[in-house]
Amino acid sequence: MTERARGDRGWAAARRAVLSGLRFTSLRLRLVVVFGLVALTAAVSASAIAYWLNREAVLTRTQDAVLRDFQQEMQNRAGSLPERPDQNELQITAGQMATNSSQRFTVLLIAENAEGKTVSGSSGGLSGFSLQDVPRSLRTAVDKRQPTTDGNSSPYHLYWQRIVDDGTPYLVAGTRVVGGGATGYMLKSLEPEAKDLNSLAWSLGIATGLALIGSALLAQAAATTVLKPVQRLGVAARRLGEGRLDTRLRVSGTDELADLSRTFNKAAAALEKRVDDMAARDEASRRFVADMSHELRTPLTAITAVTEVLEEELDADGGTIDPMIEPAVRLVVSETRRLNSLVENLMEVTRFDAGTARLVLDDVDVADQITACIDARAWLDAVELDAERGIHAQLDPRRLDVILANLIGNALKHGGSPVRVSVREEHTGEGGDAVDAVVIRVRDHGPGIPEDVLPHVFDRFYKASASRPRSEGSGLGLSIALENAHIHGGEITAANSPEGGAVFTLRLPRDGSTVSGPDDGDGDGDTGDGTDKGTGTAG
């Protein structure tokens, strides 16, 4: 494997680990976010209500005190002015009204003098508070005479309004002296109150931030408490999925998570018992097949010897076999061979099931191995070989011969001639220099494999047609071929060629030593019967 391939696989593994970590923490993250949102909503709502209540209380308290003082000064001082005062009198009175009050507001008095001209006096001097600083709507309301009734004895009232000038809030109020005389306006800065309210807003904001941090910490603690049993359950489920059926959870408490743990333990115990029962039955079945196959070997050996003698008599000139019983003798010979092949295949299947099959690796020229397989079975005239010499691989020659015999024999028997066998190397490294696998394709020119049969061609004893339950093959050939490919770390796939016919593709790793240990000496009995599953086609 090249450095680039290793790097790509390492990056893929790291990405899977990161995604797995994100999935693991997603529930924790959601809990923290939900806690945070609830805390933030509650804190912001409480802070907004508190700020609004305090703001109204502060402004109302200040406003009431200022308006009360201003109205009192208007009655006491502005009310003592002559009906047509001059500007000097207005100026002095405005100054007295401003300095006498503890609220520190600015006063503007407006009236008509003896000549009928409008004059004004402000406590702030010429550059202080003027009529242009008073909103027009307020001036209109102050100047409007109200009708007097039993419930309203005064034709003029005190009006006020809050304004903002250059970012500074002010309170503006105005009223007229009852019975005629000066009109007074007052301007009070609310900047101290605004600073107090800003300080309050900052304090509430800090409290909201602390509440959010506290809720996040609380959510983290709660998530840890809640998710720790879930995490243990996930670990236990993975261990159970890996085949460790004795995995159990420690149960504590009486909440829903404890009930879930108890349910998991009961399910794990039931699954362990079920698997143990199935394993025991499977082991008994394998032992029965193995014992039966071994027990059949001895009588089969004797029967095979007798059938060989009978076959020699049939083929010899001047034989002594009665022509009337010759068909029966030939049937016995044929069925004995079939039974012998079936027993050998059953023994090989039991070795695969028991895990005792091993590889005996050798440096194999794939083209030479295929040629030897074809030549040994006299298939040279029916098989076309497309393979270059010099394609070498570390494989078990005998098991490779078993695979080839089954695939080629299956194609010849149930496909259509000619059968074409091709070999190619599979390159994956940079520049195509690294050879990872050897690919062998066996294609026939028959009708192909029915689509409903394709998923089952490697099943043991599978019969595609119930009308042909007895075929010449044992029904195990392709299954044994697949197991031999698996023990090499390879694979066999079956498909239909677009040009017609079935195609079996064998893919084997270049170096079989990476997937199997040395042979344990138990290797006899591999058969290459060249039979299929009885499907009636090359599959």
For the segment 331-367, what is each residue's pLDDT rounded down to a tens digit? 887 777 777 777 777 777 777 776 777 788 888 898 9
pLDDT at 439: 92
pLDDT at 469: 44
pLDDT at 521: 42
d(CA 113, CA 123): 19
Query: Which segment of 158-162, 452-456, 467-471 scores lowest on mean pLDDT?
Result: 467-471
Decide which of 519 and 111 is more confident: 111
pLDDT at 10: 54
The helix or strand, by DSSP H or E, that contains position 415, with its residue range, turns out to be none
Look at phi and psi of residue 355 and say left if phi exceeds 0, alpha if psi is from -120 to 50, else beta.
left
pLDDT at 11: 54
CATH superfamily, with its number, for domain 16-195: PAS domain (3.30.450.20)
pLDDT at 468: 43
pLDDT band at 528 (very low <50, low <70, confident <90, very high): very low
pLDDT band at 515 (very low <50, low <70, confident <90, very high): low
In this structure, what token pair is assigned to residue 217?
Answer: 């910490």
Percent of the chain with pLDDT over 70: 81
State mean pLDDT over 129-137: 86
261-294 tens-digit pLDDT: 889 889 989 988 988 888 888 777 777 766 776 7
d(CA 432, CA 170): 84
Give 294-359 as a DSSP string: HHHHHHHHHHHHHHHHHHHHHHSTT--S-TTTHHHHHHHHHHHHHHHHHHHHHHHHHHHHHT----
160-170 tens-digit pLDDT: 898 888 888 88
pLDDT at 18: 46
Among candidate residues 483, 415, 496, the one with its CA nearest the CA of residue 452 = 496
In this structure, what token pair is assigned to residue 167?
Answer: 């970012």
216-244 tens-digit pLDDT: 787 777 777 777 777 788 888 888 888 88
pLDDT of 408 > 80? The answer is yes
d(CA 400, CA 366): 9
The mean of the pLDDT values for the chain is 78
pLDDT of 22 > 80? The answer is no
pLDDT of 19 > 80? The answer is no
CATH superfamily, with its number, for domain 357-514: Histidine kinase-like ATPase, C-terminal domain (3.30.565.10)
Among candidate residues 184, 171, 170, 74, the one with its CA nearest the CA of residue 121 = 184
Predicted structure pTM score? 0.46
Q: Residue 434, SS3?
A: coil
30-60 tens-digit pLDDT: 777 777 788 888 888 888 888 888 877 888 8
